Chains A and B, each alone.
Chain A
Amino acid sequence: MTPFDLAAGWPILSILTFLPALGAIFILFISKEETELIRWTGLGVSVVVFLLSLYLPITFDASNPGFQWVEKGVWIKTFGINYYMGVDGISLLLVLLTTFITVICMLASWRDVTKKLKAYAALFLFTETFSLGIFMAQDLFLFYVFWEAVLIPMVFIIGIWGGARRLYSSIKFFIFTFVGSLFMLLGFLVVYYYHGKATGVYTFDSTILMLTPLAPAIQFWVFIAFFLGFAVKVPMFPLHTWLPDAHTDAPTAGSIVLAAVLLKLGTYGFVRFSLPLLPNASMQLAPLMIGISIFAILYGALVTIAQKDIKKLIAYSSVSHMGFVMLGIFVFNAEGLKGSLMQMINHGISTGALFLLVGMIYERTHTRTIGDYTGLFKEMPVFGVCFLVVALSSMGMPSTNGFIGELFVLIGAFKAHWIYAVLVAVGVLLGAVYLLWLFQRVFLGDYSYAGKGKLHDLGLRETVTALSLVGLIFWIGLYPKPFLNVMDASLNKLAAQVEENYRKAEAAANAESVTAMLKETSAMPAEGSERE
């Protein structure tokens, strides 16, 4: 009997989700003078959670498209609310990304943060719990609870440990996402209500809800409501304005988790709920979504070029990159969807890594203005090499992860219409422009730095943190097969489900209109005979 068999009956998903929260509570009991102990506990918990999460890919059955390690229990019976957790090929990689990035965050804030360390470490662990909950919850209500909950630690992280305009940024972040999620909740309730009315079963269980799609006319409005919730989080143009502020003022680790995990919640929501629950509205609005996505790719890239603050530059580049992800979802083909999922992971790794590296240099100099640096490569070669690899990955250079994702999205876009592919390719080019130009200005040329003192190259902790991300970049870039295989079956199932639901809703609507017409026609001769 292997250890894996032993663990087979355990509620592994709940353990993974709530272990960080337990760790956070434990940290609250440590005396605040014990800073080293707090740091090590935070790191220890996140590492344990990451190692535990590796249990998932090891025991994952790639041929099974459904949810695995399912846990289901009744929570609030009268409203049909369940505690329903499950992970499939779509969420597995996102779960791993979350547990991995949390470790990176802990390492990134090792020396960076000294103020209120206890609360800081605890809030990060809470963020991890809620993010994991979002990726695992298959009950809409449970999903919503986690979705709202994750907002709270993030607002505090920006508001307390942030930069100069932290209060403004954290409130803006809160209001944007909170308003968006209220609409999302409204959408959930409409789905719940109409499904109950149609089938007699009132439930928030998403797998049951997906069996009976709503009427296309209602889908349209629910899609708008979902859109407001998810698109703010992505963020999609024109709802993106909170992002640069939040990123600029967030502490390094906050930016990392925001870019790597929280932005993915939005796109995940589109894939998980908008597509299968609202296939008709999704297809109907796809041209609009594609238009906005492409616009975001190009607009985001152009705005990025003009930035003077490195962190703001990366923040705007996220708007552009998330445009790729959204485009992949709404071109409605297998390649696009796969590329989009791949790109979610890639963006998490690359942009997370960019924020990490910017944080490292900020820690030394306390400036992020591009003009304050030149020729850093000469003083910090290790840092320079890491930054280069990450920048190349972010711009989608072949042999890095970014290329694999962009290639799939490009193929998907091309299949939808060649003009999309051309526009996206221009976006790829612009991406190379702003990143290379950034690299050139900061790293090449003669060394000078506006501040005092000598800059030190990366230390051991920093090198290990950065190299773990660099390793992943090349792994996915050179051998993407294992990652693609994981999502294959689930995505195929999703595509089939979207199509089936689309047909069902269409057929139901047709049947309705036919019966209505029949009623009319049967009523007409009656009227006529009355006249006679």
Chain B
Amino acid sequence: MIENVLNFPILTVLILLPALGAITLAFIPGRSKEALRSTALGFTIVNFCLSLVPLLYFDTSTYKMQFVELAEWIPGIGVSYFLGIDGISLTLVLLTTFLSIVAVLCSWTAVEERVKEYMIHLLILETGMLGVFASLDLILFFLFWEIGLIPMYFLIGVWGGARKLYANIKFFLYTLFGSVFMLVGILALYYSHGNITGEYTFNLLKLYEAVYPYNLQWWIFAAFFLGFAIKVPVFPFHTWLPDAHVEAPTAGSVILAGVLLKMGTYGFLRFNLPLLAEATVVFTPYIIALAVIGIIYGSFLALAQSDIKKLVAYSSVSHLGAVMAGIFALNQQGIDGGVLQMINHGISTGALFLIIGMIYERRHTRQISDFGGLAKVMPVYATFVMVIVFSSIGLPGTNGFVGEILILLGLFKASPVAAILAATGVILGAAYMLWMYQRVVFGKVKHPENEALKDLNAREVIILVPIIALILWIGVYPKHFLSLTNATTTHLVEAVEMNRAKGELADLAERHETLVLEHEEAPGHMTEHTTPAEGGHR
């Protein structure tokens, strides 16, 4: 079972390298800001390059976990240090290492205060995120899941905007609340697996092998749902997100939207679907309903915003609703679309926060009404924004289109009504994005402060160009990306179907057994009564 083609713990290195970077930064004096920035950038770039190694050696023909590492961690209760990635986690690992570079770059001039601590938090955050995507032991997963919270808490709480303390405690309590229930769910799973097979373990691959009774599945699903849905966030658990985004510094928003939200949808894909297939099928209609409400409701809220950052934050609620709808369509297209859209949303929404950060640095306002006519003073900026906005609304030729069309296709198969409603959401998405673009970029320069705005500098262009390239690459030739995840998603769909069938069979068998027992008992009594010995006694 243990396969690692590289014979080298590449995942451990990937996860620990940013932490090592954080430790290195701790020894650089806080005054030399340039050195701090460059070191952090160096570590994120090296880590990104390292993350290309698994991509090169990745075997796209199998759904099995690759680059696996397994070692004992806490003896006695079956907790192990168990890492491995499949197609879904590989793409998310790449997204994380890529966006980490972006996060460091976009804070280059935006953050002048406490640069050292800031960069340390960014790097620890990277470690946490990579750990989440590579963990195959539930306790290890939980560990990284929680580790990611701490630096985020600081990024918002120290470098955030005016209402940072409020937004911070809200963000933290929401996610912690969810994760506590997730922990209880994990324990329930652990305990049930131990009861069924006799082996108590948190090893995910072993947990996959058992079929859990439906009643239990229902409760575990509910517990996991709370943990993951808050992170996604699924309507109605989304209220922490706009606050957190508005108050977070740019890099915080990029990471939050780009990667952290994906941890929730990833959780659904990794745990709920394959482990709790029977409950998944039961929960599906409700989750699709919530997802569609999220799509439409998020769009309407975005339409009403006057703060660009809040607008993008609400658009995330809408987009993540689409991802959830795709995943819970429970068919190949839907899940493929969901996974691709996770990446797309990471790229385009990360990019949106990035360009908002760039203009905020210049004007220190994010009110849509404070802008207008930017195309005249900042033509390069306006062009970049256009491509990113197109990607976000899913215009053909950009990445967003591929993801959305797959999701809609999958969703249509599962539920035409939901697909039609979701499609309305897409239209609304075009409305709020284009309207925002129009008010900010087109028209006359209304405010004299905007006349002297400088266009993008070289560093900013360098950050944006690869993002634009990715947007177009996925948009025009998505095959590269889809083929990475194809084997995994195919297997996932099959696994859900099979486990559901297995579960139903087991339930049927149980019912059958009780029936047989009842049946056997009844004639059994009769024969007993008619035995000669019995009769003789009487």
Which chain A residue lies CB-closest to B169?
A440
Tell whether, in the assembled complex, residue B184 and residue A381 are in contact, meaning their CB atoms are under 8 Å apart. no
Question: Please, what's the 1-or-0 string for A434-449, where 1 marks a CB less than 8 Å from any CB in chain B?
Answer: 0011001000110000
- A506 interfacial by beta-carbon distance below 8 Å: no
Tell me, rounded to whole Å, the shortest Cβ–Cβ distance linking A43 to chain B: 29
Which chain B residue lies CB-closest to A339?
B77
Q: List 24 A-B contacts (CB under 8 A).
A: A335-B76, A381-B117, A392-B150, A398-B139, A398-B142, A398-B144, A398-B146, A399-B143, A399-B147, A404-B74, A407-B77, A408-B77, A414-B190, A414-B191, A422-B184, A425-B183, A429-B176, A433-B173, A440-B157, A440-B165, A440-B169, A445-B165, A481-B73, A481-B74
Listed in ascending order, the chain B residues whose CB lies under 8 Å from chain A are: 72-77, 79, 117, 139, 142-147, 150, 153, 157-158, 165, 168-169, 172-173, 176-177, 180-181, 183-184, 187-188, 190-191
Tell me the bound Cα distance from A440 to B157 in angstroms.
8
Which chain A residues (462-496) contact chain B, with CB distance < 8 Å? 480-481, 484-485, 488
Tell whether, in the assembled complex, residue B168 and residue A426 are in contact, meaning their CB atoms are under 8 Å apart. no
Tell whether, in the assembled complex, residue A407 and residue B139 are in contact, meaning their CB atoms are under 8 Å apart. yes
Tell whether, in the assembled complex, residue B191 and residue A415 are in contact, meaning their CB atoms are under 8 Å apart. yes
Which chain B residue lies CB-closest to A392?
B150
- Chain B residues with Cβ below 8 Å from A397 are 146-147, 150
Tell me the bound Cα distance from A421 to B186 in angstroms.
11
Tell me the bound Cα distance from A444 to B190 in angstroms.
38
Tell whether, in the assembled complex, residue B187 and residue A421 are in contact, meaning their CB atoms are under 8 Å apart. yes
Given contacts A381-B117, A398-B147, A399-B147, contact A426 B180 (CB under 8 A): yes
Which of B75, B117, B177, B191 is close to A481, meaning CB atoms less than 8 Å apart? B75
Which of A335, A422, A425 is close to B77, meaning CB atoms less than 8 Å apart? A335
- A299 interfacial by beta-carbon distance below 8 Å: no
A-B contacts besides A398-B142, A444-B165, A481-B73, 10 pairs, CB < 8 Å: A398-B147, A408-B77, A410-B184, A411-B187, A426-B180, A428-B180, A436-B153, A440-B157, A444-B157, A444-B168
Which chain B residue lies CB-closest to A338?
B76
Tell whether, in the assembled complex, residue A480 and residue B147 are in contact, meaning their CB atoms are under 8 Å apart. no
Tell me, rounded to whole Å, the shortest Cβ–Cβ distance linking A305 to chain B: 12
Tell whether, in the assembled complex, residue B75 and residue A484 are in contact, meaning their CB atoms are under 8 Å apart. yes
Tell whether, in the assembled complex, residue A480 and residue B74 are in contact, meaning their CB atoms are under 8 Å apart. yes
Which chain A residue lies CB-closest to B79?
A407
- Chain A residues with Cβ below 8 Å from B158 are 377, 444
> Which one of B142, B144, B187 has the greatest number of beta carbons of chain A within 10 Å?
B187
> Which one of A404, A426, A432 has the greatest number of beta carbons of chain B within 10 Å?
A432
Tell me, rounded to whole Å, the shortest Cβ–Cβ distance linking A15 to chain B: 32
- A324 interfacial by beta-carbon distance below 8 Å: no
Tell whether, in the assembled complex, residue A436 and residue B150 are in contact, meaning their CB atoms are under 8 Å apart. no
- Chain A residues with Cβ below 8 Å from B142 are 398
Tell me the bound Cα distance from A480 to B139 in angstroms.
14
Listed in ascending order, the chain A residues whose CB lies under 8 Å from chain B are: 334-335, 338, 377, 381, 392, 397-399, 403-404, 407-408, 410-411, 414-415, 418, 421-422, 425-426, 428-429, 432-433, 436-437, 440, 444-445, 480-481, 484-485, 488
Tell me, rounded to whole Å, the shortest Cβ–Cβ distance linking A433 to chain B: 7
Tell me, rounded to whole Å, the shortest Cβ–Cβ distance linking B365 to chain A: 22
Tell me the bound Cα distance from A484 to B165 in angstroms.
39
Which chain A residue lies CB-closest to B72?
A481
Given contacts A338-B76, A480-B74, contact A429 B177 (CB under 8 A): yes
Which chain B residue lies CB-closest to A374?
B165
Tell me the bound Cα distance from A404 to B146 in angstroms.
14
Q: What secondary structure prevails in chain B residues at the interface with A? A: helix
Tell whether, in the assembled complex, residue A418 and residue B181 are in contact, meaning their CB atoms are under 8 Å apart. no
Tell me, rounded to whole Å, the shortest Cβ–Cβ distance linking B174 to chain A: 11
Tell me, rounded to whole Å, the shortest Cβ–Cβ distance linking A440 to chain B: 6
Given contacts A377-B158, A429-B180, A481-B74, contact A418 B188 (CB under 8 A): yes
Tell whether, in the assembled complex, residue B165 and residue A403 are in contact, meaning their CB atoms are under 8 Å apart. no
Tell me, rounded to whole Å, the shortest Cβ–Cβ distance linking A395 to chain B: 9
Tell me the bound Cα distance from A337 to B188 in angstroms.
19
- Chain B residues with Cβ below 8 Å from A488 are 76
Tell whether, in the assembled complex, residue B169 and residue A425 are in contact, meaning their CB atoms are under 8 Å apart. no
Tell me the bound Cα distance from A235 to B143 in angstroms.
31
Tell me the bound Cα distance from A426 to B184 in angstroms.
10
Tell me, rounded to whole Å, the shortest Cβ–Cβ distance linking A163 to chain B: 31
Tell whether, in the assembled complex, residue A485 and residue B146 are in contact, meaning their CB atoms are under 8 Å apart. no
Tell me, rounded to whole Å, the shortest Cβ–Cβ distance linking A484 to chain B: 6
Tell me the bound Cα distance from A440 to B188 in angstroms.
33
Which chain A residue lies CB-closest to B76?
A484
Tell whether, in the assembled complex, residue B180 and residue A425 are in contact, meaning their CB atoms are under 8 Å apart. yes
Tell me, rounded to whole Å, the shortest Cβ–Cβ distance linking A2 to chain B: 29
- Chain A residues with Cβ below 8 Å from B117 are 381
Tell whether, in the assembled complex, residue B75 and residue A485 are in contact, meaning their CB atoms are under 8 Å apart. yes
Tell me the bound Cα distance from A399 to B516 in angstroms.
51
Tell me the bound Cα distance from A320 to B64 in angstroms.
44
Tell me the bound Cα distance from A398 to B148 in angstroms.
11
- Chain B residues with Cβ below 8 Å from A433 are 173
Tell me, rounded to whole Å, the shortest Cβ–Cβ distance linking B180 to chain A: 5
Tell me the bound Cα distance from A285 to B190 in angstroms.
28
Tell whether, in the assembled complex, residue B77 and residue A414 are in contact, meaning their CB atoms are under 8 Å apart. no
Tell me the bound Cα distance from A478 to B187 in angstroms.
20
Tell whether, in the assembled complex, residue A411 and residue B190 are in contact, meaning their CB atoms are under 8 Å apart. yes
- Chain A residues with Cβ below 8 Å from B190 are 411, 414
Which chain A residue lies CB-closest to B184?
A425
Tell whether, in the assembled complex, residue A414 and residue B188 are in contact, meaning their CB atoms are under 8 Å apart. yes
Which chain B residue lies CB-closest to A487?
B76
- Chain B residues with Cβ below 8 Å from A429 are 176-177, 180
Tell me, rounded to whole Å, the shortest Cβ–Cβ distance linking A427 to chain B: 10
Tell me, rounded to whole Å, the shortest Cβ–Cβ distance linking A209 to chain B: 29
- Chain A residues with Cβ below 8 Å from B145 are 398
Tell me the bound Cα distance from A269 to B79 in angstroms.
30
Tell whether, in the assembled complex, residue B172 and residue A410 are in contact, meaning their CB atoms are under 8 Å apart. no
Which chain A residue lies CB-closest to B30?
A381
Tell whether, in the assembled complex, residue A484 and residue B74 are in contact, meaning their CB atoms are under 8 Å apart. yes
Tell me, rounded to whole Å, the shortest Cβ–Cβ distance linking A426 to chain B: 7
Which of B75, B168, B177, B183 is close to A410, meaning CB atoms less than 8 Å apart? B183
Tell me the bound Cα distance from A403 to B183 in angstroms.
11
Tell me, rounded to whole Å, the shortest Cβ–Cβ distance linking A298 to chain B: 13
Tell me, rounded to whole Å, the shortest Cβ–Cβ distance linking B473 to chain A: 37
Tell me, rounded to whole Å, the shortest Cβ–Cβ distance linking B181 to chain A: 7
- 7 nearest A-B residue pairs (beta carbon): A398-B143, A414-B187, A429-B180, A398-B146, A425-B180, A425-B184, A444-B157
Tell me, rounded to whole Å, the shortest Cβ–Cβ distance linking A306 to chain B: 16
- Chain B residues with Cβ below 8 Å from A418 are 184, 188, 191
Tell me the bound Cα distance from A444 to B181 in angstroms.
28
- Chain B residues with Cβ below 8 Å from A444 are 157-158, 165, 168
- Chain B residues with Cβ below 8 Å from A407 are 74, 77, 79, 139
Tell me, rounded to whole Å, the shortest Cβ–Cβ distance linking B199 to chain A: 14
Which chain B residue lies CB-closest to A429?
B180
Which chain A residue lies CB-closest to B145?
A398
Tell me, rounded to whole Å, the shortest Cβ–Cβ distance linking A517 to chain B: 30
Which chain A residue lies CB-closest to B146?
A398
Given contacts A414-B191, A436-B172, A445-B165, contact A403 B143 (CB under 8 A): yes
Tell me, rounded to whole Å, the shortest Cβ–Cβ distance linking A441 to chain B: 9
Which of B73, B76, B168 is close to A440, meaning CB atoms less than 8 Å apart? B168
Tell whether, in the assembled complex, residue B169 and residue A436 are in contact, meaning their CB atoms are under 8 Å apart. yes
Tell me, rounded to whole Å, the shortest Cβ–Cβ distance linking B128 to chain A: 10
Tell me, rounded to whole Å, the shortest Cβ–Cβ distance linking B441 to chain A: 36
